Structure 1
Amino acid sequence: MCINISAQHVKELRSQTGAGMMNCKKALQASQGDMELAIENLRQQGLASANKKSTRIATEGRIESYIHAGSRIGVLLELNCETDFVARHSEFQMLAKNLAMQIVACPNVQYIKVTDIPQDTIDKETRIELSKDDLKNKQDQIKQVIVKGRIEKKLKELSLLDQAFIRNTDLLISDLIDQKIALLGENIKISRFQKFILGEGAVKNRSF
């Protein structure tokens, strides 16, 4: 039986271990809310040390490409690790491929993480939400709460790390990367990606 775990407990476990949010939640559910047992389980999986590796310099890696069926959309992705040895590892290469496919599968994704989103984009989305008809008769305080929730949801839709992994929707992309960090023992990070859509930005000729 799966018990309800509060967000506060998940955050507390994450602060103590550095493991991903979803991994922390699963560990707490598996331990029936026992914090010490959850920490032990994460350590056994190697996930408790993933966050400590995230500050280490990673300049090796690979450029991954993925062209979707029909050749109308493609992605170039730079995924970094610490050594050429890990860059050649099959798990790292599969991660790069899965991330490139994930970007194609998520049309709203434009940034690696929420903190990469420019403030002018956030301001624009906030103005749009504030002007929606369903909020016109709401009190200002209630309106601000609703808009805040909608903006947080929108920003996560734009962020690659906040997406559910298409091959396992119980995992966020951030948690998937943490798992590979634990497995391979090196820092792994997405440096950049570029999506290409056939005809995007081009002015099409019109027949009269």
Structure 2
Amino acid sequence: MQKKFSTENIKELRNKTGAGMTDCKRALEASGGQIDVAIESLRKKGLAIADKKSSRIVTEGLVESYIHSGSRIGVIVELNCETDFVARQSKFQQLAKDIAMQIAACQLVKYVSKEEIPEHVRDYEKAIEMHREDISNKPLDIRNKIAQGRLEKRLKELSLMDQNFIRQGEITVEELVKQHIALLGENIRIRRFERFVLGEGLETKDSNFSQEVSNMIANK
């Protein structure tokens, strides 16, 4: 017997996936009213659609900024799409805002995706893992296997697309973008971003009051 579902269930599914009302209704019908099964079905559908569109050229979009409370962290991100029409859509603009906020929250992230991480960075991170004390006495092949596994984890930490979305922890940023590709019907790509942290890169001056007074007296 098929489980019944309500309009509220359809709305809930739409809020969780960003899919259209008709797609949500069909997914619930196919799943017998099971929300979790319907979500998985819609995500797979969205990923399939996104993969088909991923090679299409994106030359439009917008540049979004986010300043965190206290004005100590700021982010600028460029999000691209195919047409100016989609760039003006509220859902696309909200996506840009969400991504900018995500970047501000993920201090370890330095690259859009793992594919963009330079080879010299990969080599450096691999070398660090190979010389960890806890595996230093293991055979080389075992050390290499462990280090490679840890390297993959490290690369994910550096990659924005591999982060869990802060507003919806069960999906990654990559899945979030693909959901919007399916929803808006165009290829969408995070092109680049820059994070600004107040005082980052500046040397902190240690203030030694006693030494300053001694220097003043000596120079008189």
Q: Partners in 2 of 1:100 and 1:121 — Cα distance?
A: 24
Contact 1:67 1:74 in 2 (8 A): yes
Normalised by the length of structure 2, the TM-score is 0.74
1:109 counterpart letter in structure 2: V
Q: Which residue of 2 aligns with 1:171?
A: 171
Q: Which residue of 1 aligns with 2:137?
A: 137
Q: Which residue of 2 aligns with 1:55?
A: 55
Paired residues for 1:55-204 under 5 Å: 55-204=55-204
Structure 1: tracts of 5 or more residues without a match: 1-26, 32-37
User: Aligned in 2, Cα 1:159/1:46: closer, same or farther, shift over 3 Å?
Assistant: closer
2:90 counterpart letter in structure 1: S
Q: Partners in 1 of 2:125 and 2:44 — Cα distance?
A: 42
User: Aligned in 2, Cα 1:68/1:43: closer, same or farther, shift over 3 Å?
Assistant: closer
Normalised by the length of structure 1, the TM-score is 0.78
Following superposition, the deviation at residue 42 of structure 1 comes to: 4.8
Q: Partners in 2 of 1:185 and 1:47 — Cα distance?
A: 12
User: Aligned in 2, Cα 1:137/1:110: closer, same or farther, shift over 3 Å?
Assistant: same
User: Aligned in 2, Cα 1:181/1:65: closer, same or farther, shift over 3 Å?
Assistant: same
Structure 2: tracts of 5 or more residues without a match: 1-26, 32-37, 209-220
CA RMSD of aligned residues (A): 2.2
Following superposition, the deviation at residue 130 of structure 1 comes to: 1.0
Contact 1:156 1:162 in 2 (8 A): yes
Percent identity of paired positions between Structure 1 and Structure 2: 58
Q: Partners in 2 of 1:154 and 1:70 — Cα distance?
A: 29
2:81 counterpart letter in structure 1: C
User: What number of residue pairs does the alignment pair up?
Assistant: 173
2:56 counterpart letter in structure 1: R
Contact 1:111 1:159 in 2 (8 A): yes
Contact 1:112 1:160 in 2 (8 A): yes
Contact 2:46 2:178 in 1 (8 A): no
Contact 1:43 1:49 in 2 (8 A): no
SS of 1:169's partner is coil
User: Aligned in 2, Cα 1:136/1:72: closer, same or farther, shift over 3 Å?
Assistant: same
User: Aligned in 2, Cα 1:138/1:105: closer, same or farther, shift over 3 Å?
Assistant: same
Contact 1:42 1:48 in 2 (8 A): no
2:114 counterpart letter in structure 1: V
Following superposition, the deviation at residue 55 of structure 1 comes to: 1.0
User: Aligned in 2, Cα 1:168/1:42: closer, same or farther, shift over 3 Å?
Assistant: closer
